[in-house]
């Protein structure tokens, strides 16, 4: 009932451990004949090398860490789920596995524990903040890592959607449709993703020589009440279109407008810088930017594996997007 070891196989086949090891790894010279003999035996007996022993011998765990935010308002977002799907799939193909770390706000102890315990060969950081403590930790510890999102630190290997370009394009399309008075409702500006989205939005206005009305820009909204207040203000200030920085904000905005019986797009237009199922349930289909988080996760994982193998990788990979024009901005 005990599992086969490389030693058992060696004895069984009358060769040495080294030979078996070589047949498996493909490293070092070995005759075609013996290799096949070993491989056959392995397949027939479903032998799997012990990853602990293998890991101990060459200082690898064959695990990567997925570090995602742990506060439940954020954890619930489909985005991180979808990323994870791509990550796990890519890892599995390479016979790697994914370990979870939850990051609570700016706290680094959870991630530090995993790194200090040497439980993983690398880390995928699920989102980035301005002056990110966990990025600092990772750099300090010398752990290989990539981030999903952008970083101001050019050393950091980043995989991100091209938020700047996407937000600029969406905004520009709406300008071309004749809108001028945009209200932007956004969340925490410590999040790099919000910073880049804001940048794209601003640059579209700039390119068309439109001065954004600062009375229509509402940032750093955390709670639903704040968002709803922003909606009230936007309407009071005669906004033509409300741009929502993400899907959760947009869901709240649309909900509030419906409760107040404000017609979309009749009385006000609405667009979102991020689309998700959260917006499926609303009456009027919402114009939004669409990304592919699963692809993001897959790319991040693939890149991290390259890094752990010492290969050169691009510092920044920007994935594409789609603009979904719907009824909410007609």
Query: Are 292 and 79 spatial neighbours (Cβ–Cβ below 8 Å)?
Result: no
Residue 18 as a binder of DNA (CB under 7 A): the answer is yes
What residues between 23 and 62 interact with DNA by CB under 7 A? 24-25, 27-31, 33-35, 49-50, 53-54, 56-59
Report the nearest approach of its own copies to the CB of residue 291 (Å).
14
What residues between 22 and 51 interact with its own copies by CB under 8 A? 46, 48, 50-51
User: Which residues are CB-contacts of 258 (< 8 A; sequence separation ≥ 6)?
Assistant: 282, 283
Tokens 């996760």 belong to residue: 297
Report the nearest approach of its own copies to the CB of residue 195 (Å).
26
Residue 102 as a binder of its own copies (CB under 8 A): the answer is yes
What residues between 205 and 264 interact with its own copies by CB under 8 A? 251, 255, 258-259
The number of C-alpha atoms within 13 Å of 321 and in the hemisphere containing its C-beta is 22
Q: Which of its own copies, DNA, none sits in contact with 27, Cβ below 5 to 8 A by type?
A: DNA
According to CB under 7 A, which one of 11, 16, 206, 314 is a site residue for DNA? Answer: 16
Residue 99 as a binder of its own copies (CB under 8 A): the answer is yes
Rounded-to-integer distance, Cα 278 and Cα 147, Å: 25
> Which residues share a beta bridge with 217?
184
According to CB under 8 A, which one of 12, 25, 92, 220 is a site residue for its own copies? Answer: 92
Query: Are 100 and 113 spatial neighbours (Cβ–Cβ below 8 Å)?
Result: no
Binding site for DNA (CB under 7 A): 2-3, 5-7, 14-19, 21-22, 24-25, 27-31, 33-35, 49-50, 53-54, 56-59
């Amino acid at each position: 009932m005990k599992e086969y070891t490389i030693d058992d196989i060696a004895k069984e086949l009358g060769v040495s451990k080294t030979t078996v090891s070589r047949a498996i790894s493909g490293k070092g010279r070995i005759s075609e004949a013996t290799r096949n003999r070993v491989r056959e035996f392995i397949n027939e007996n479903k032998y799997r090398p012990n990853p602990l022993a293998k890991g101990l011998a060459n200082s690898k765990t064959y695990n990567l860490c997925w570090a995602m935010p742990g506060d439940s308002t954020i954890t619930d977002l489909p985005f991180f789920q979808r990323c994870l799907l791509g990550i796990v799939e890519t890892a599995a193909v390479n016979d790697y596995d994914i370990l979870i770390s939850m990051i609570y706000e700016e706290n680094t102890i959870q991630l530090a524990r995993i790194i200090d315990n040497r439980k993983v060969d690398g880390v995928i950081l699920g989102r980035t903040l301005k002056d990110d403590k966990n990025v600092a930790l990772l750099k300090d510890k010398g752990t290989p890592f990539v981030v999903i999102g952008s970083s101001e630190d050019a050393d950091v290997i980043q995989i991100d959607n091209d938020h700047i370009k996407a937000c600029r394009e969406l905004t520009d399309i709406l300008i071309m449709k004749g809108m001028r008075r945009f209200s932007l409702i956004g969340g925490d500006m410590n999040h790099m993703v919000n910073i880049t989205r804001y940048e794209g939005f601003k640059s579209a206005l700039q390119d068309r020589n439109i001065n954004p009305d600062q009375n229509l820009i509402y940032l750093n909204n955390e709670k639903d009440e704040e968002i709803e207040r922003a909606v009230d203000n936007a309407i009071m200030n005669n906004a033509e279109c409300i741009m929502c920085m993400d899907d959760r904000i947009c869901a709240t905005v649309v909900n509030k407008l419906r409760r107040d019986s404000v017609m979309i797009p009749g009385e006000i237009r609405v667009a979102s810088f991020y689309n998700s199922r959260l917006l499926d349930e609303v009456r009027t289909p919402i114009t939004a930017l669409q990304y592919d988080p699963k692809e993001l996760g897959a790319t991040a994982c693939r890149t991290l594996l390259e890094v752990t193998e010492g290969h050169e990788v691009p510092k920044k990979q920007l994935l594409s997007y789609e603009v979904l024009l719907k009824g909410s901005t007609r």
